Structure 1
Amino acid sequence: MSPRESLSSWRARQNAAETSVVAAVAEVKAERDAEWAEARQAAQQAAAERKTYTRDDLLGADVVRTKLGWYKVVRLNQQSVTVDSGHSWTSVVPFAKILDARSIGGDA
């Protein structure tokens, strides 16, 4: 505030500056929210289009892929697959969590 400027004019200038900053922040938030909503919709659409495996699809599969990686199939259950976890135990993966399934072939 300069010595010649009155307090009320200084406050008016400050209020105008604050209003413009608030408007800019709101605009950035609106853009970010729109991008987030678009990304969320794309992810939901990709999930809806993803193949859901059934027991019949997995009958010949030797390995299955989840979001954590590929696993050897130990047993095929009614609604899930028991896989070798690489440890001393096995893990159960529901069909809905399977991203891909493959048969290695070459039975020995």
Structure 2
Amino acid sequence: LPTSYHPGITSHPLHELLPGEIVWRMREGLRQFDHKWRGFAGASAQLIGCETRTSSPVRIPRDPATLEHPGLEGLYPCGEGAGYAGGIVSAALDGRRCAEAMARQMFR
């Protein structure tokens, strides 16, 4: 099927790439989405890529209350690279939390 993703995609059956339990859970999740939003997982739907929580093997320390690094004033480790998110949405939300923490620090 054509896609807006550039430089293009190559289709491959997920059940040949991932363990059966994961494929089953993905199928079930798509069924549930389609039940709530009819057509979400219809015949023309495409699933492109997978996100995991495994992209950063380290976690940079940060104070749970201030979100600032405990030993480096003004450093707010955040997002996927710092070990506080597992994908684009959670990284964005964590970035927002850190930006709000910085603003509180600046304007107090």
TM norm. shorter chain > 0.5: no
Please report the TM-score for the alignment, with normalisation by the length of structure 1: 0.24
Structure of greater Rg: 1
Higher helix share: 1
Higher relative contact order (CA 8 A, sep 6+): 1
Which protein is richer in strand relative to its size? 1
